[in-house]
């Protein structure tokens, strides 16, 4: 089981840099980068709310559940 973080895609769709998003959300670049790369173990609803507000998206746009580890590799092949 795994959660795929799609923050990169949302930022690319919005043509927004990590630095710009971090500034607008009120996070450090390091913390936002850790979220983007999946190094964080959790996220506060307050933080998710701020990210969704800035990116004009839903929480489901940022995260995807994949049930089998082998599905992760198939999923990664489909990403731009």
Strands (E) in 1-80, as ranges, are 2-5, 63-66
What's the pLDDT at 69?
63
The vertex-9 CA angle with 55 and 56, nearest 5°, equals 15
Segments forming the whole domain that contains residue 45: 7-60
Tokens of 45: 């609803």
What's the pLDDT at 66?
82
The structure's pTM equals 0.79
Q: Report the distance separating Cα 52 and Cα 45, nearest Å.
A: 10
Phi, then psi, of 4 in degrees rounded to 5: -90, 130
Domains: count for the chain: 1
Residue 17 placed within a domain: yes
What's the pLDDT at 45?
95
> Please, what are the averages of pLDDT over each run of 10 residues along the chain (80 residues)?
86 96 95 91 94 96 81 59
Residue 68 placed within a domain: no
Residue 65 placed within a domain: no
CATH number, residue 47: 1.10.260.40
Residue 67 placed within a domain: no
């Amino acid at each position: 089981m795994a959660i795929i973080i799609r923050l990169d895609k949302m930022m690319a769709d919005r043509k927004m840099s990590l630095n710009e998003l971090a500034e607008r959300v009120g996070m450090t670049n390091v913390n936002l980068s850790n979220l983007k790369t999946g190094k964080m173990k959790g996220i506060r609803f307050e933080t998710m709310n701020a990210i969704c507000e800035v990116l004009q998206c839903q929480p489901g746009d940022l995260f995807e559940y994949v049930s089998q580890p082998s599905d992760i590799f198939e999923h990664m092949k489909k990403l731009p």
